[in-house]
Chain A
Amino acid sequence: DIQMTQSPSSLSASVGDRVTITCRASRGIKSYLAWYRQKPGKVPEVLIYSASTLQSGVAPRFSGSGSGTDFTLTISSLQPEDVATYYCQNYDSAPYTLGAGTKVEI
Chain B
Amino acid sequence: QITLKESGPTLVKPTQTLTLTCTFSGFSLSSSGVAVGWIRQPPGKALEWLALIYWDGDERYRPSLRTRLTVTKDTSTNHVVLTMTNMDPVDTGTYYCVHTTPYCGGGTCSYGVFDMWGQGTMVTVSS
Chain A residues whose CB sits within 8 angstroms of the CB of B63 once the complex forms: 1, 95
Does A98 reach chain B (CB closer than 8 Å)?
A: yes
A101, B46: Cβ atoms closer than 8 Å: yes
Q: Which chain A residues (21-45) contact chain B, with CB distance < 8 Å?
A: 30-32, 34, 36, 38, 43-45
Of the candidates B60, B61, B110, which one forms a contact with A92 in the assembled complex, judged by CB atoms under 8 Å apart? B110
Contacts of B119 in A (CB 8 A): 43
- Name the residue of chain B whose CB is nearest to the CB of A51: B105
Interface size class of A (residues with CB under 8 A): 20 to 34
Quick check: B47 and A87 within 8 Å, CB to CB? yes
- Contact string against A for B residues 89-126, beta-carbon threshold 8 Å, 1 for contact and 0 otherwise: 00000001000000111101011111101111000000
User: B52 touching A96 by the CB < 8 A rule?
Assistant: yes
Check A95 against B49 for contact (C-beta < 8 Å).
Answer: yes
Is the C-beta of B62 less than 8 angstroms from some C-beta in chain A?
Answer: yes
A83 within 8 A of B: no
Residue A74 is within 8 A (CB to CB) of chain B in the complex: no
Task: Give the top 5 A-B pairs by smallest Cβ distance, nearest first.
Answer: A91-B112, A50-B105, A94-B60, A96-B49, A49-B113
